[in-house]
Amino acid sequence: MENLHLIVGLGNPGAQYAKTRHNAGFLAVEQLAKRWRAAWTSEKKFNARMARAARSERPVLLCEPQTFMNASGEAVAAVVAFYRLPLERVLIVVDDADLPLGELRLRPSGSAGGHHGLESVERHLGARTYARLRIGIGRQPGAREISDHVLGRFDSTETALADKVVAAASDQAEAWLNDGIGKAMNRFNGAVGGSLSEGKKQ
């Protein structure tokens, strides 16, 4: 499909993981689907939920792998291979506990940085040369074990800022699609809507 673009949100399927910090990627692509009035369908051949849209006459696929986070690359690689997508037309949206809540970081390539979802994508694609948009979810001060934190939901002091950063991540994904990665990075990378302390005041 000519000029097809793919935006993938990473997360874990199932009601018990819905709206957890680790599912920030899911939340961002779900917001895009809502904006674009794109309906989700279950695609068994990819083991993923998919939604299709057209933006400025450009076809776009939204994808939520249903493989669980640590095997995300299986679904991503299947979609990329099926549509023969060049990696410059692929954007992966993920949570990042090493970024403070409220920060965004889009890069054209790079390492997985310890994120198991990105490690799986890299392993199955055999490359690092795909754009990745990291949504900062922060971490508990002094905590080495972060599983409980990332698999938990945003608390009442975080919700307003979390909503802002997910909305901004959706805006940045649209900018990547419409204006290219350079402009999307320049416009959105960094803090969104102030610090967590500001978010607590709201």
Give CA–CA dist 10/178, Å, rounded. 22
Contact 87, 17 (CB under 8 A): no
Tokens of 108: 């054209």
- Determine which helix (DSSP H) or strand (DSSP E) holds 105, and give its type and residue range: strand 103-107
Of 100, 108, 103, 92, the C-alpha closest to 165 is 103
Single out the catalytic residue among 22, 116, 124, 149. 22
Tokens of 157: 């002091």
Q: Has 22 been annotated as catalytic?
A: yes
Contact 163, 187 (CB under 8 A): no
Q: Which residues are catalytic?
A: 22
